[in-house]
Structure 1
């Protein structure tokens, strides 16, 4: 990264999801020049050195790991133990996290260690900051963590890179860390006895993924509200379904915010529209009740994620100032597992909602006078054009896959490591599931966006609606979608259009209502 990039300070204050994502996107980091923070970090590492000199017993320092905690390590081999730990955990498989995710993982691990209760040296925090600021992002495989004792296998790739081993990204491709360090005159770090465990025995991977998932889900709440308004406009729906008086008697704040956004997008200064039906079908009428669940759960999920971010979550905890070694299980990712299992359920419901609305839009039995499959063809050309027929099939496929992935990962605990890790969180799998559900849902939403814009335009072309009757936000979204995809008259392959809209959704470049 460039030296001129904005910097986020670690160590003195509580950080947020947005801070982690800013680092992932390219912000630099710096360690706080805070006396209490600096004193706490130094006290932890010095206390461990003192215990070692006094031949004290410390888990993972003078003992083996996990079920091997009963194995005493000969004094002359203690220094080799951290390298042994990250070496034998080098067994990750599957796809690799991209650079954005890798930077988020580095930031989350730095924040946890900067709490000052992990017994690591100041130089290790500096080396982590160097990886971020020099954009030396470890190539980390996605698979191999059960979420307790933390993200051992994926975080072993961070530990190895700090020591100058394995690979980092260079121009999007794996590149030997040893060569990169030599080119940048960076000295590999020889990990002190507790530092391998401190780096690996925590929840940094699942929590980084949770930060990414949270931001994407938060945006979809707003986008689905706006697209519901477009669906109502296209199908000549009833705006009274979103009336403030109606929602005042069921006071879920997120649900009411969603209803208000849809209501505002439908009115645009005009009188309420009664539509062709007294009651629209559930996928339109009950949209605030579906979207609102996610809107209302987001504050709780933020609390779970940010508490985990700002925690020391390895084992043992080292209280250097109080001179305590505290053995426990803070590596357990139960809160993140629950947050991600919950989030993926709510997000998949958005996919199902958008898929049902799309099904109404293309069907002449339910779209109130729009052409079959929203085809823009006219005359005899209508016979051979099929509009959004295949897109709707695709959306149903993506929705089905998203719904299939809503089975909670956290209930699939497996006993591992000679039954020492006999109850594990599966938080990293839950977070990976959530990101996959988000991807599938974004695909459904992209298909819905193309269809809904087409539907509103067809309604306008039929003289039953005008652009002036559409709110500014609705018109803005329609114009943005049209920069990626022209109005569909003659059938054409829409995969390129869909991918462009998905990219705009993931970049959060489509206009949405106010924040949750």
Structure 2
């Protein structure tokens, strides 16, 4: 059981909730802060004080006063009218993360909602009742209004959910789990939808996949090093420390470790003096991507524990301040940055694929074909990789540089952070397939070189890979091999693989 406080949720804990089905609960201390904040809202309503979103309309309607008797209608109308999301739903794991993050943010006690709202959100997480949230329609400022409105619909028994493999009406799922829908009271609708949780959830899931991919890319590159008799001198510790980047040093160290007992790698001068950059510069390029991923992780962990709605309630209601914490610019920048870092892992991977299949660049059979000429072998795999890399260049265009005013120019600068996070996730899926292609080609090439001469780690990875993609003995539909390899990489937790190897050692 993971206890949420609103202040210290980590990526590791989110990973456990999303992929290990860990249950969550709220800390008593945080719930006490939530209750005090709620009492402040009720006092504001009873005194008919003019406070944005509690006794006024929203956005451009902030100057419209709402009578106390219409406070409940105001919140219900807000959720229904703002549920304007379109397009395919977010992946279920992203929507589940969105619910978790929204509950965690509300637990900070600045939002003025009742504890029952948080209890219901956590019940959704623990029961795997996952809101159907359309991916498109958020500007990433004023919060993820449209996506979070679809989440809020579920709390009131409207909208749709994914439940036990089906897409059904939310009220039916709530009833099956014995969860009562709530009636939103003053400020609660606004508190639920003013936030960055959709873009952050998409970013969190994307980051977790990207981190795993970055580790996988290193051992796949190590196998390619063996396939091409790569020169190990370029990975020497003193070369890396001479420059000083921590991530570059660590990348080179891991690759030296993976290839420590390989009989297929070479030393400078043995076969050639230098390798091409796609081999020689692996620590520099992959290390730079790790620098970005470290930056992204830092920003996500801040945002996961941030109060991002508006207005925020301080000093037990003595201060109610309309601010702009809902603006997604920090996450928008982080997601655009992550796009570049992950796309670059595919860029350099595609160049290694070219070196594996191009007979002008190696001494292997042309295109790794079992019968060159009669059979094309891996020729078109490189085409597919080049296509994915090119598509990534389009997706990597920064979303955060764009802004379109909304709400009659009251909301005149927005982040487009949700678009950035969605495109980052698309890039990650493309990168995984490029790495899958490199893996298929590298496995074929090391077979030709001699599997018995491989390093312990790369050989173990090769053997695992061969459980999903057989050796190429004749041309076949290679699309299936690429997808099988990509699916294996998606489900393979790389640290788990390393631990298995350590146990064997």
1:247 aligns with 2:246: no
Q: Which runs of 4+ in 1 moved over 4 A?
A: 269-272, 509-514
Measure the CA separation in 1 of the matches of 2:262 and 2:279. Answer: 21
Q: Which residue of 2 aligns with 1:3?
A: none
Q: Does 1:16 align with 2:10?
A: yes
Q: Deviations over 1:75-130 (max 9, x none)?
A: 22122111111101122111111221111111111110111111111111111111
Matched-pair contact (CA < 8 Å) for 2:349–2:435: yes
- Residue 168 (structure 2) pairs with residue 179 (structure 1): no
Supply the distance in 1 between the matched residues of 2:228 and 2:127 (Cα, whole angstroms): 53
Separation in 2, partners of 1:21, 1:416: 35
Question: Which residue does 2:108 correspond to in 1?
Answer: 115
Once structures 1 and 2 are overlaid, which stretch shifts more, 215-224 or 204-213? Answer: 215-224
SS of match in other structure, 2:3 = strand
1:8-407 alignment runs, 5 A limit: 8-11=2-5, 14-25=8-19, 26-34=21-29, 37-268=30-261, 273-274=267-268, 275-321=270-316, 323-367=318-362, 369-377=363-371, 382-407=372-397
Using the alignment, how far apart are the partners of 2:494 and 2:102 within structure 1? Answer: 32
In the TM superposition, residue 12 of structure 1 has moved relative to its aligned partner by 6.5
After TM superposition, give the deviation of residue 163 of structure 1 in Å. 0.5
Structure-2 separation of matches of 1:184 and 1:441: 39
The question of whether the paired residues in 2 share the 8 Å contact of 1:237 and 1:277 is answered with no
Task: Tell me how far 1:280 sits from its aligned partner.
Answer: 0.7
Report the secondary structure of 2:28's partner residue: coil
Asked if structure 2 preserves the Cα contact closer than 8 Å seen for 1:301 and 1:339, the reply is: yes
Partner of residue 479, structure 1: 463
**Residue among 480, 492, 503 paired with 1:496:** 480
TM-score (norm 2): 0.95
CA distance in 1, matches of 2:262, 2:303: 45
Is 1:203–1:332's contact at 8 Å kept on the other side of the alignment?
Answer: yes
Indicate the SS of the match to 1:393.
Answer: helix
Unaligned segments of structure 2, at least 5 residues: 500-505
SS of 2:216's partner is helix
Structure 1 residue 272: deviation in Å? 5.5
2:444 is equivalent to residue 454 of structure 1 = yes
Pairwise CA distance, 1:40: 1.2
- Secondary structure, counterpart of 2:84 in structure 1: coil
Return the alpha-carbon distance in structure 1 between the equivalents of residues 291 and 412 of structure 2: 34
Question: Which whole-Å CA distance do the structure 1 matches of 2:176 and 2:493 have between them?
Answer: 38
Q: CA shift at 1:434, angstroms?
A: 0.4
Unaligned runs of 5+ in 1: 1-6, 461-465
Which secondary structure does the structure 1 equivalent of 2:316 belong to? coil
Distance 1:290 1:69, change over 3 A: same
Deviations 1:395-447 (A, max 9, x none): 11111101211111000111111111111111111000100000000010001
Residues 185 and 267 (structure 1), Cα distance of their counterparts in 2 relative to 1, 3 Å cut: closer
Distance 1:513 1:290, change over 3 A: farther
Q: For the Cα contact (< 8 Å) 2:369–2:376, is it kept in 1?
A: yes
Cα displacement (A) at 1:316: 0.4
Instruction: Report if the CA contact (8 A) 1:21-1:104 is conserved.
Output: no
Q: CA deviation at 1:302?
A: 1.4
Deviations 1:349-405 (A, max 9, x none): 1111100100110001112x100001134xxxx331111011111111111101211
Aligned residue for 1:283, secondary structure, equals: helix
Secondary structure at the aligned position of 2:367 is classed as helix
Q: Give secondary structure in 2 for the equivalent of 1:474.
A: helix
Report the alpha carbon displacement of residue 239 of structure 1 after superposing the two structures with TM: 1.0
TM-score normalized with structure 1 length = 0.93
